[in-house]
Amino acid sequence: MNPHDEQRLLQTRRQFFGRTAVGIGAAALGSLLQNELFAKADAARSAMPPLPGLPHFAPKAKRVIYLLQGGAPSHLDLFDYKPGLEKYRGEEIPESVTMGQRLTTMTAGQEKKPVLPSISTFQQHGQNGTWISDFLPHTASIVDDICLIRSMHTEAINHAPAVTFFLTGGEMPGRPSMGAWATYGLGTANENLPAFVVMTSRDREASCGQLFFEHYWGSAFLPSKYQGVKLRGEGDPVLYISNPDGMSDKVRRALLDDIAAINERKHREMGDPEILTRIAQYEMAYRMQASVPELSDLSTEPESTFALYGPDSKRPGSFARNCILARRLAEKGVRFIQLMHAGWDQHKNLPTQLKIQCEDTDQPSAALVKDLKQRGLLDDTLIIWGGEFGRTPFCQGDPTAKEHGRDHHPRCFSIWMAGGGVKPGMVYGETDEYAFNVVKDPVHVHDFQATVLHLLGINHERLTFKFQGRHFRLTDVHGHVVKPILA
């Protein structure tokens, strides 16, 4: 049998309908692209335009920098000042407060749950006298620029589901990440860099921390060109974009043109849009050979930059260095920048590790706000700082022992946001006297997601993608924009 005839017989039902669905459109697309595909690297080949009709309204933010603190920073020790807890130190937390709420297996069977007040001291800062922990002196210096939300809450009680929930809108993997949704809706502003970039770092002690799973920046059922590109802290920032030894740029260009021609022929045959994505990603990698090394070369930064971001800012892979790179990415028009820092999971080492984490992250986080502000970029850049849930106001373990800490707590926690259309110098939401439950202005994870999209000019109910017969969205079927925090 002729191989071409055999190939036609091997078509699946899905491939058949896929081909008939694209029909004339695929042929037209092929004729439009053919010259560029077979001849040269053209920016239009990997164009990632916004969806028709987006943004839905004038955006306040052009880009997002999400400083996700993996492991859950303790709201009680950093942002939610509860001096009244000192009188309850060591006492059992009342059932009237906990109300049988779910605990993790690490403390559910613990015989006693003694109240543990903050291990840090607090002072008032800024025009509104916002209480901030002395562990965060640099964050305290920008308190008039941030909106501190003390009433976040979630359903997830373990790290991976909770981070997945924040970033994808569902606790189980399989949905697009927030950065993928943003770039799917709004496209890219720089053809030479990915629209969605991810960087990771971890605690200095390297004694704790969670894994960073790729679905945290994945595109799931969206076209794969919308997934985040991870920049590494050491070696080549992105694997495999450099030419192999002995291969010149001219040979690389010719190789990519040949691969593009094969892929285009396959696309005309199959009609699979992922084939066009593959072409676009090859071209993006080619352009990144010049743009990424330039981006990651900090030798052009003045010493004042490193002084601003702190002593760790020259160490490759550090959170501080990643913050400098985030500013450089923002300057170049990258749409969504996601920094993930692990190590906030203080179950047994709260008295020592919490302060170390703050020393690693406090100065660079505040420096990023200051740096963008002095460059005129803060107004249209939304910065988010926070973890996946909070920590319990009762102690895990014996509070008199050397090793003790706090367990996971989804019922209330704090995050802060700055720039990009958020009211500065504001505190939103309240918790009870034990910092255990939200008592005023609750903000759910889906409300947070809806608000972030709103600031980007997106109606979260209208940004959808049909998959397996259902129209999915980041906020699932929930979420309300938190209008009081909007500038």
DSSP conformation letters of 317-336: T-HHHHHHHHHHHHHTT-SE
Which one is predicted more confidently, 260 or 101?
101
Confidence at residue 211, expressed as pLDDT on a 0 to 100 scale: 84
Question: Is residue 278, in this structure, part of any structural domain at all?
Answer: no
Question: Is residue 314, in this structure, part of any structural domain at all?
Answer: yes
In this prediction, residues 67-96 reach a mean pLDDT of 97
Asked if pLDDT for residue 30 goes beyond 60, the answer is no
- Look at the chain and report how many structural domains it folds into: 1
Round the average pLDDT of the chain to a whole number and report it: 89
User: What distance in Å separates the CA atoms of residue 312 and residue 306, rounded to the nearest whole number?
Assistant: 8
44 pLDDT band, cuts 50/70/90, is very low
Confidence at residue 238, expressed as pLDDT on a 0 to 100 scale: 73
Tokens of 449: 């997601």
Q: How far is CA 154 from CA 167, 269, 410, 463, in A?
A: 13, 47, 5, 23
User: What distance in Å separates the CA atoms of residue 95 and residue 163, rounded to the nearest whole number?
Assistant: 28
CATH, residue 336: 3.40.720
Tokens of 358: 């703050």
| β-bridge mates for residue 338, sequence order | 66, 198
Which one is predicted more confidently, 209 or 176?
176
Confidence at residue 23, expressed as pLDDT on a 0 to 100 scale: 43
111 pLDDT band, cuts 50/70/90, is very high
Asked if pLDDT for residue 28 goes beyond 70, the answer is no
Residue 470 exposed, middle or buried by CB count within 10 Å (0-12, 13-18, 19+): exposed
Question: Is residue 25, in this structure, part of any structural domain at all?
Answer: no
| Domain boundaries, position 131 | 55-248+289-464+473-485
Confidence at residue 208, expressed as pLDDT on a 0 to 100 scale: 54
pLDDT digits (tens, 9 = 90+) for 323-346: 999 999 999 999 999 999 999 999
> Considering the chain, what percentage of its residues have pLDDT values greater than 90?
73
Asked if pLDDT for residue 483 goes beyond 70, the answer is yes
Q: How far is CA 26 from CA 4, 19, 136, 288, in A?
A: 20, 8, 56, 28
CA quadruple 284, 290, 295, 300: dihedral, nearest 10? -170
Confidence at residue 13, expressed as pLDDT on a 0 to 100 scale: 55
Question: Is residue 215, in this structure, part of any structural domain at all?
Answer: yes
Q: How far is CA 251 from CA 244, 254, 256, 287, in A?
A: 11, 5, 9, 15
Question: Is residue 115, in this structure, part of any structural domain at all?
Answer: yes
- In this structure, are strands 430-431 and 336-342 parallel, antiparallel, or unpaired? unpaired
pLDDT digits (tens, 9 = 90+) for 168-201: 999 999 999 999 999 999 999 888 889 999 999 9
Query: With contact defined as beta carbons under 8 Å apart, do 161 and 445 qualify?
Result: no
Helix H, strand E, coil C: the string for 100-166 is CCCCCCCCCCCCCCEECCCCCCEEEECCCCEEEECCCHHHHHCHHHEEEEEEEECCCCCHHHHHHHH
Q: How far is CA 163 from CA 5, 69, 249, in A?
A: 49, 10, 41
Helix (H, G, I), strand (E, B) or coil at 63: strand
Q: CA nearest 455: which of 48, 169, 149, 64? A: 64
Strand (E) or helix (H) holding 418 = strand 413-418
The predicted model scores a pTM of 0.87
User: What distance in Å separates the CA atoms of residue 461 and residue 403, rounded to the nearest whole number?
Assistant: 47
CB atoms within 10 A of CB 172: 11
Asked if pLDDT for residue 144 goes beyond 80, the answer is yes
110 pLDDT band, cuts 50/70/90, is very high
Question: Is residue 234, in this structure, part of any structural domain at all?
Answer: yes
pLDDT digits (tens, 9 = 90+) for 150-165: 999 999 999 999 999 9
Question: Is residue 1, in this structure, part of any structural domain at all?
Answer: no
User: What distance in Å separates the CA atoms of residue 468 and residue 303, rounded to the nearest whole number?
Assistant: 53
User: What distance in Å separates the CA atoms of residue 416 and residue 365, rounded to the nearest whole number?
Assistant: 11
> Considering the chain, what percentage of its residues have pLDDT values greater than 70?
87
User: What distance in Å separates the CA atoms of residue 410 and residue 158, rounded to the nearest whole number?
Assistant: 9
Question: Is residue 226, in this structure, part of any structural domain at all?
Answer: yes
